[in-house]
Amino acid sequence: MAKSIPARSEVDPQFTWAITDMYPSDEAWYEEMKTMRGLVADAASYKGRLGESAASLLGFLRAMDAINAAGNKFINYAFRRADEDTRNADYQAMSAQAQNFLVDMSKALAFETPELLAIPDETIDAFFREEPALEHYRLVITRERRKKPHTLSAECEALLAAAGQLSQAPDDIFSMLNDADLTFPDAVDGKGEAHPLTHGTYIAYVQSEDRALRESAFRSLYSTYGQFRNTSASVLSAQMKQLQFFADARHYESALHAALDETEVPVEIYHNLIDAVHRNLPAMHRYIRLRKRLLGADKLHYYDIYAPMVEGQEIAVSFEEAKDQARKALAPLGEGYLKILEEGFRNRWIDVYENQGKRSGAYSAGAFGTHPFVLLNYTDTLNDAFTLVHEMGHAIHSYLSNTTQSVTYADYKIFVAEVASTCNESLLMQYLLGQTQEPRRRAYLINYFLEQFRTTLYRQTMFAEFELWCSGQIQKGEALTAESLCRKYGELNALYYGEDIEPDEEIALEWARIPHFYYNFYVYQYATGFACAIALSQRILREGEPAVKDYLGFLSGGCSTDPISLLRGAGVDISTPAPVDDALRLFDSLIGEMEELAGKE
């Protein structure tokens, strides 16, 4: 019998996040808005005065810290409320007001960078000598002054800040279409029984051993996206255009350069990733051939690539079981780490199950001044158990940075965000593999590990290549249409998956359902993060305490130095292709073990 999706009001509170840990009520949030506006007004009062004296510069920087300390929680509350039920008009209004506040704040404080850059070097040096407390902000000042070639006049900066609300529009439109408006026909299994198809249930269906259910879910999902292909193309085109607009306005070579400069990552790392994955495509093609053989399929389709290659071994994992596995798998990280994990489990950091209108997918939102909040759509699968440790990896990374660093340096760069989450996944897999030598169960787990490589390292790199192409088309003045997007996306799937899979026309529409294309060159970091995480998890298991100490130092580092240096301190150098190549050699060796286990049957 089909399981219905409950309304938000019907969900047991113990499986929802403790949103009142931020504010006791919505009314309290609205009251806080007055405080936030006062803090912004205080910082804005320094306009025209940053170069006046060391005391004035210090006062402004402290005022900015006060905004960040209170504002993180303020913004987080509104966005988390909106994600609980994207159809709730009151919370959508609250989210919009929070977004408007950010835009207003950006306009009011747009003078910061131009004024900092206008201060002569000798004056800045004199300020540091005159006011020792400024030393705390040396890195902040250095980072701002590094942007001089890309900073405009105060008037132009204010104009760009005012355009910030428009820049959010493509993501907002995509979210409303994808999460609130789109509904899908039921998927039908091999027995003719209907199952409600949602974003939350789709992955579970395509991982099913029931091929009829997999195909039905696949075709039902994409038939719906196909009806909105032109709208989706227009929204994605608008996203790429707004990124190019800001890149051009700030005199960057490309939107990619603009995005990666913000995170202090050289663009060579992006290109090195794509090149390294291309060099290792033969391993992916070998994996697809193995999958086709083990599934016994005359023709392998895209709705087959998530299905387990080992039948009868699917692992149902309840939320309680997943928490217990997490405790055991993450034990190598030490008692301190486990204590934070347990705090998250006991004190409702996590919004566990799907409800009607809830934002799809999963994420962790960490905010200074409050504990992290983790959104899941848990459906009792092994994949969900891995998602739990993944998101708790993010959460504990945020927790350690927020409690170790001052508000000035607590917010780690996006580039390192996926390392902690994926390291947890790798540790969970190593733990599960260590619990069994039974060939079929081991083969099932290796199958899952291989899928992590496929979906995280290969697939996210394919996404990154597609996003780079989209951006390049806009930069060249070419139009992004449904036809051109589908054509390019289909070509990339053929390149990455090879000749042993059928060219299902539906897969060319997959770009229309990927929210990360609205995150500004984010997806490549899943792949680089995965490669780093493989290296770090193996070092932790191999070396123990010294590796754990370095790793926890990395998690506690915030943005106290650049992300590449933080990773080097933890023991991995992602400025070279070596971590990606090493990870994909492990992938190839796992395929060999899988082939060997399959030969024993």
Quick check: 552 pLDDT over 90? yes
pLDDT digits (tens, 9 = 90+) for 448-467: 899 989 999 999 999 999 99
Work out the pLDDT band at 272, boundaries 50, 70, 90: very high
Quick check: 342 pLDDT over 60? yes
The domain spans of the chain are 21-167
Quick check: 312 pLDDT over 70? no
What pLDDT is recorded for position 600? 57
What pLDDT is recorded for position 601? 54
Task: Quote the longest CA-to-CA distance of the chain.
Answer: 79
pLDDT digits (tens, 9 = 90+) for 30-56: 999 999 999 999 999 999 999 999 999
Q: Which residue has the higher pLDDT, 341 or 264?
A: 341
Quick check: 387 pLDDT over 80? yes
The tokens describing 432, both together, are: 């599960």
What pLDDT is recorded for position 466? 98
Percent of the chain with pLDDT over 90: 85
Give the mean pLDDT of 563-571. Answer: 94
End-to-end CA distance of the chain: give it in Å, rounded.
35
CA 399 to CA 129: how far, in whole Å?
Answer: 34
pLDDT digits (tens, 9 = 90+) for 468-515: 999 999 999 999 999 999 999 999 999 999 999 999 999 999 999 999
Lowest mean pLDDT among 25-29, 230-234, 261-265, 283-287: 261-265
> Annotated catalytic, 391?
yes
Cα torsion angle, 472, 478, 482, 488, sign: negative
What pLDDT is recorded for position 1? 41
Give the mean pLDDT of 87-96. Answer: 95
Quick check: 395 pLDDT over 90? yes
Q: Are the C-beta atoms of residues 33 and 105 closer than 8 Å to each other?
A: no
Give which of 372, 364, 363 is closest to 402, Cα–Cα: 372
Q: Which of 391, 425, 451, 510 is catalytic?
A: 391
By DSSP bridging, strand 373-375 and strand 363-365 are antiparallel
CB atoms within 10 A of CB 308: 20
What pLDDT is recorded for position 278? 97
Give the mean pLDDT of 300-319. Answer: 87
What's the DSSP call for residue 176? I
Whole-structure pTM over 0.85, yes or no?
A: no
What pLDDT is recorded for position 310? 83
What does residue 373 show for φ and ψ, rounded to 5 degrees?
A: -125, 130
Q: Are the C-beta atoms of residues 316 and 380 closer than 8 Å to each other?
A: yes
pLDDT digits (tens, 9 = 90+) for 198-229: 988 998 899 898 999 999 999 999 999 999 99
List, as one string, the DSSP characters of 354-422.
--TTPPSS-EEE--TTS--EEE----SBHHHHHHHHHHHHHHHHHHHHHHHS-TTT-S--GGGHHHHHH
CA 380 to CA 325: how far, in whole Å?
Answer: 13
What pLDDT is recorded for position 439? 86
By DSSP bridging, strand 194-195 and strand 363-365 are unpaired
CA 323 to CA 387: how far, in whole Å?
Answer: 11
Give which of 187, 427, 196 is closest to 303, Cα–Cα: 187
Q: What mean pLDDT value characterizes the chain?
A: 94
| Domain covering 21-167 assigned CATH 3.40.50.2020 in the classification | no
What pLDDT is recorded for position 162? 85
Highest mean pLDDT pick, 312-326, 371-385, 586-600: 371-385
